[in-house]
Amino acid sequence: MADVKVENLRKIFGSGPTAVRALQDVSFEASGHTFVSIVGPSGCGKSTLLNIMTGIETPTSGSVTITEGGSPARLGYVFQSARLLPWRTVMDNLLFVQQTRDEEARKRCMRFLEMVHLGDRADNYPGELSGGMQQRVGIARAFSIEPDVLFMDEPFSHLDAITARTLRRELHELWKETKKTVIFVTHDVGEAVELSNRILVFAKGGILADDIEIDLPFPRDSADEAVALAKARVLKRFEDLNLIAS
C-alpha cells in the first residue's frame, strides 16, 4: 500500500518584493486505494504542487515522501497532452518507459492497451490516432509500469466532452481494478466529484483551503441527484473561498 505524505510544503518563486508565493504550508496525507483530486482556480499552485511531488521542481521548504511498504514508490504520470514519441508505434511508446523490454513487459503493455480498447492499434503511430485515442495510450502507458502512485495533470482538459466522459469511465474502471493511489489535478469540479473519494480545494496563493470527502457509490453519473448535490456543495465552498467571481 502506497503512502503519500506532504509536510509543510512551501514554494516561493523569486525573492524580495517581487517574490511570488506559489504554495504556503501545504500538508496532507493519502494512502492505499484512494482517488484524490486537487482542484482550484488557475494560478493556485496546483501544477507547482504536482511538479514538486513528482520531483520536477524542488520546494523552498517542507517535504514530500512517497513510499510503498517503506521503500520509494514507483510513480506513473498522465499529462495534459499525451506526450507520445511520434516516431514510435503505440506499443513501442509503452515499451519505452518499461524497465525491461522482454516478452513479459510486452504482454503487460498489451493488457493495458486492451483495457483502454486500443489492443488493435499497437502497431499504429500516434499520428494515425485521434486525440482521444492518444490520451488513452498515455493512460495505458502510465498504468503499464504498474506504479504505486499515479499522477494525472488535467488529462481530459484538451478533449471534447463526449470523449472526456468515456475516458473518465475507463479511468475509473482501471483505478477500481488496479487499486492504485491516484493524485488527480483538475479545474473541473464536476469531474473531480465524479471520480474521487477526496477533493483538496486550493485557494489563490497556494493555500490548501479545504479537504472534502465524497462518500458516494460508484459509478457516479453527473445527472444523478446525489452527485449533483455533492458538486453543488464543492462549488459552494469555492464561492465561500471567493474562488469564483460572483
Residues of the shown chain interacting with other proteins in the complex, contacts defined by CB under 8 A = 54-56, 75-77, 79, 81, 83, 85-88, 96-97, 125-128, 145
C-beta closer to other proteins: residue 101 or 117: 101
Residue 87 CB, nearest distance to other proteins (Å)?
5
**CA 52, chain centre distance (Å):** 14
Q: Which of 130, 184, 166, 154 is nearest to 80 (CA)?
A: 154
Residue 145 CB, nearest distance to other proteins (Å)?
7
Q: How crowded is residue 47: how many other Cβ atoms within 10 Å of its Cβ?
A: 18
C-beta closer to other proteins: residue 87 or 218: 87
SS3 146: coil
Residue 133 CB, nearest distance to other proteins (Å)?
14
C-beta closer to other proteins: residue 24 or 124: 124
C-beta closer to other proteins: residue 60 or 81: 81
Residue 174 CB, nearest distance to other proteins (Å)?
17
Residue 75 CB, nearest distance to other proteins (Å)?
8
**CA 232, chain centre distance (Å):** 22
What is the DSSP-derived secondary structure letter of residue 1?
Answer: -
* The 149-153 sheet, strands edge to edge: 75-78, 149-153, 181-186, 35-39, 198-203, 207-213
Residue type, 33: H
Task: Name the phi and psi angles at 139, rounded to 5.
Answer: -70, -45
Cell of 213: 470527502
C-beta closer to other proteins: residue 156 or 238: 156
